[in-house]
Each structure stands twice: as C-alpha cells, then as structure tokens.
Chains A and B, each alone.
Chain A
C-alpha cells in the first residue's frame, strides 16, 4: 500500500499571525514539503492544478520535474490534472516528458475541476464537463498507446498522422487515477479502462464515499479487469497531530475555524465526527485511518492533506515527521494484516513494465 501527501497549493494567510506568504515562498514550501515526504519515508507526492488566485500550482509538471531531480524514490502525481480544460495532447506530452526525467516515478489523477470560470477561460463549456472528460481521456489514452494517431472528436481540432513525443518511457503509459467526489460517471469511466479511482473523501461522510467506491468496484469487475476486491482504490485524509491530543486541538482550531473550505461553518468537533478529519494524537490518526478499510475495503493509496489553511511550513514539516515516523509505519503493518494475497498494490512503472513482459503473446503480436 502507498502512503503520501497531496497539496492544494493555496496561498492562505496564517490566521494566528495574519501574515500571507508570497507566491515564491509558497511554491518553495511545496517543494520543501515534497522533499520532506521522501525523507520521512512516504511514497507519493501529488499537487493540485489551479488557474486562479489564491492558488499557485498552475504548472504541475514544471514543479514535479524539479522535485524529480531532487528525489530518488518518491512517486510524483497530481490531484488533479484537469482533463476537461487542458488539451489532452499537451497532457500526453508533458507527462511522458516527466516520466523520462523521473525514471518512471510518475502517475497522475484526472479531475474535472470545480472552478466554473476556468472552463470559459480555456474556451470550454462547463455544461460539457462530463463529455469533455470522456472524449479528452479517450484521446489521451490512445496518444500514449498508439505511435500514430488519427483523431476526430467534438472538442478539439482533428489530428492526422500525429505522434505524441516523447513516447512514454519503455512504451508504458503512466498509470492513471480518476478522481471524483460525486459523479458516478467518473467511477464508471475509471472502471471501464481498468484505471484507479480516487475518492477525495476528506469533506464527506463515510456513507457517500462507500457508495462511490462500491460502484467503482462493481463496474471494474463488470468490465473484466478482476474481482471487485482487486480494483485500485485511493482515498484522501486530513490530519493534524501532536503527541498530546489536547495540544493538537488547541493549535489547529484557529486554522480550522478560518480554513477556506469549511471555515466559519461547523465546529471542529462536529466536522471530525462527520468526516475523515482527525485532530489529535498519532494513535487517534492511526485508528481513524485504519477504519477507512471498513467501508472502502482493502485499498491501494492513502494521501493526506497536510499543508493548507495557512499552516506555516515549519509546522507542516513537524507534521510530516510525525506522519512518517509514528503513523505510517503502523498503518503499513496493520493494513497488511488480513489483506488477501490477490489484492494488488497500486501499479507503478516497474510493475506495469513487468506485467507487460509477462505477456509474451502480446509481445509476439507486436513483433
């Protein structure tokens, strides 16, 4: 099982000091957080993609390429890459380039985006959101798998004899996750292709997450990719820890109360009762995260949101120490218990390459 972090990349004033970091500070902080993730033994770093203030990560592969050069093991990913408003040709090129630079330590998560004006800013119609996700991904899927593509669709200019370069590393397309919070259509899309499905459950009650994942698992099996239990599931999480749980609550409360997403709304206590948010000791985080398996089944990837709402870099780095030293080692051990042998790990470049080499008949056809 993979453990990692995902960042939104918001530039938010620290409510305890009133100070807002500069864009440069925030971007460098995101890099420092990624490097720390590798140092403390996490597996994945994923960045969001946004095209409006107060968010900085508009160019994910630029950032991930820089991080790739400074890390050895970390898998670089996105949360999410906008499949609706980006040109699928550019996604194919950017992430194939990143694959080569990062020696295959790359996957990505498709999302539709939830900021209405981004669609018109990029010349798209939000009412076509699902159709854009369907058509653009169908093209992206081909661009990574066919050397020469002829294409005609509804949303972009046709392609005749087009080859996306560089070709994917070792001819293996990056693994793709599809992220959606409330659209069954996207769970269906992930299932159809046998791709991963990520439910960012951090602002949602468990019963909703359960329905989406059950749908994905059932449809994954329907399309013949394996049993429902073998489908590739990822979940979000959101935690703030101190050794003493009362200290965690006291320190995090002003960040919670002023957070861009849920601030000035429910109490910290209600929100922790109703969603995966955990504010407390490392042991409390372990217990709550282990309970995700009760409704999601054995899953492959757990990403935590650690660096939002104006938390200072120093605090985030301390949180990552706690996550890497006290939480994730226990989670690895506990999640491995009673995990059926036929439940796969999340695909990586190495595993996808190996499984292709294990399929000699297809190699024969290619030859």
Chain B
C-alpha cells in the first residue's frame, strides 16, 4: 500500500513538512495493520517542483520531475496534503500543483482518501481547513477525511496536537484499508478502475449513431 505526502512548505526545515511527517508516521503502520510492514511513504516537496509547476501553465505539459510526482499521487492509496496558510487560504504553490495535476489527469484524485492539514502562525486561521481545503478536495472528487489537522506555531509547544494527529491519521488509515483492502473489495467499495480513453475508444459508429448520422457511403 502506498501513502503520499504532498507538502507545500517553503523553508528548510519546514513545520509544514514536519506536520506531514508526523501524520504519515501514524497513518502508514495503521493503514496496513495487522500486517507488520507499514504502507510505503513517499513525500512530494512542492518547493523542489515550483519552477516546473509554473511551466505547466506556459507549456501545457508537465516536465519530467513533475510528471513523476503526478504519477506518485495518482498511484497512491491515500494522500496527506499539507500547506502553509497564505492570505487566508492555501498557498498559491499548493493550489497550482493541484490545478496542474487536474489539467493533466482530471481523475487523479477521484475516490482517493485525502487527509487535509495546514500550518500557520496563529490559531486564528484554523478554519482554512474547512473553508478552503475541504471544498477544493471535494471538487476534485477525493474522499476527504472527516478530521483535518491545523498546527499553529504555538501548537508545537502545547498539548493536544498529538491527539489530533492520531485521530486524523487513524481515520485516513481506515479509509485506505477500507478502500484498498480485501474487505473493501468484498463490499464493492473499491473505486472503479479509471477509464483510459486510449485503451477504451468509443467505436466511431457509436458516435455517428448518437447523432443519427449515417456512416460513409462506399468509395466511388
């Protein structure tokens, strides 16, 4: 099973990345329990991809490293997405990554469990999770974990963050196990395989028939 963390933290080290790592540390073993091997965790640092993300808007296609990141995300059984709060919302880089992803593969997040998380300088921005991140991932047809995690600077020295991480990561793990495990398949909850328009072409006669257009006449 594969868990991908998308972090839009900009500084090195970054509290945004730290929050993503803490969430992954709980979710990875919980997603595969009782198997001893935890889920495979990959981290996508958007800072490293910032220029390639910008270029998708001028080029129309992702450069190689970004294409690899898109493939990691599309292939994940679960996602942890973490952004710093900028101007009362997710950062522009964070949004741009998902804009570029959905322009390249509009079904990349369809049916995928996603844990939303954010960091900020004060607790006053905590509802960014509900007002900005949750609608974005709902629009992208992800299954958003009920509990999101917001960490203000003060939270790193206070009680309570651990419990929120534990609760949200466990919810993500349950969705990952439920959607990709054998019981999920037995209940028919596994998302249908994505339709590949290159593999499953609509026969042209069906397109003509849908328009009530007769096929071509025999060659003269």
Contact = CB atoms under 8 A, between A and B. Distances in A.
Contact of B202 (A138, A171, A185): A185
A366 B219 CA distance: 11
Interface stretch (B68-76, B107-115, B151-159, B210-218): B210-218
Contacts of B186: none
Interface stretch (B58-66, B124-132, B176-184): B58-66
B216 A142 contact: yes
Contact of A135 (B61, B198, B201, B213): B213
B63 A270 contact: yes
A131 interface: yes
B59 A266 contact: yes
A193 interface: yes
Contacts of A270: 55, 63
Contact of B214 (A138, A171, A205): A138
Nearest to A131: B211
Contacts of A36: none
B211 A204 contact: no
Given A215-B201, A262-B59, A266-B59, A142 B217 contact: yes
Contacts of A362: 218-220
Contacts of A266: 55, 58-59, 63
Given A219-B201, A262-B59, A134 B207 contact: yes
A193 B217 CA distance: 10
A184 B205 CA distance: 15
Contact of B59 (A153, A193, A265): A265
Interface string B74-102: 00000000000000000000000000000
A263 B57 CA distance: 11
B11 interface: no
Chain A interface helix/strand/loop/mixed: helix
A188 to B, nearest CB: 5
Contacts of B63: 266, 270, 274
B206 to A, nearest CB: 10
Contacts of B218: 362
B208 interface: yes
Contact of A204 (B61, B204, B212): B61
A271 B61 CA distance: 11
A189 interface: yes
A145 B217 contact: yes
Nearest to B203: A188
A203 interface: yes
B69 to A, nearest CB: 15
A264 B58 contact: yes
A141 interface: yes
Nearest to A146: B217
Given A262-B59, A265-B58, A134 B211 contact: yes
A96 B162 CA distance: 75
A356 interface: yes
Contact of A153 (B57, B64, B211, B220): B211
B198 A211 contact: yes
Contacts of A263: 58
A192 interface: yes
A203 B59 contact: yes
B204 A189 contact: yes
A53 B197 CA distance: 34
Contact of B216 (A141, A153, A191, A205): A141
A293 interface: no
B218 to A, nearest CB: 8
Interface string A207-219: 0100100010001
Contact of B60 (A146, A203, A219): A203
B211 A154 contact: yes
A138 B58 contact: no
Contacts of A366: 220
Contact of B201 (A141, A145, A188): A188
B216 A193 contact: yes
Given A265-B58, A362-B220, A184 B64 contact: no
Interface string A163-204: 000000001000000000000110011011100000000011
Interface string A56-72: 00000000000000000
B133 to A, nearest CB: 28
B196 to A, nearest CB: 9
Interface in B1-27: none
B202 A274 contact: no
Given A139-B213, A193-B216, A265-B58, 9 more contacts: A135-B211, A142-B216, A142-B217, A146-B217, A171-B220, A188-B203, A215-B201, A265-B54, A362-B218
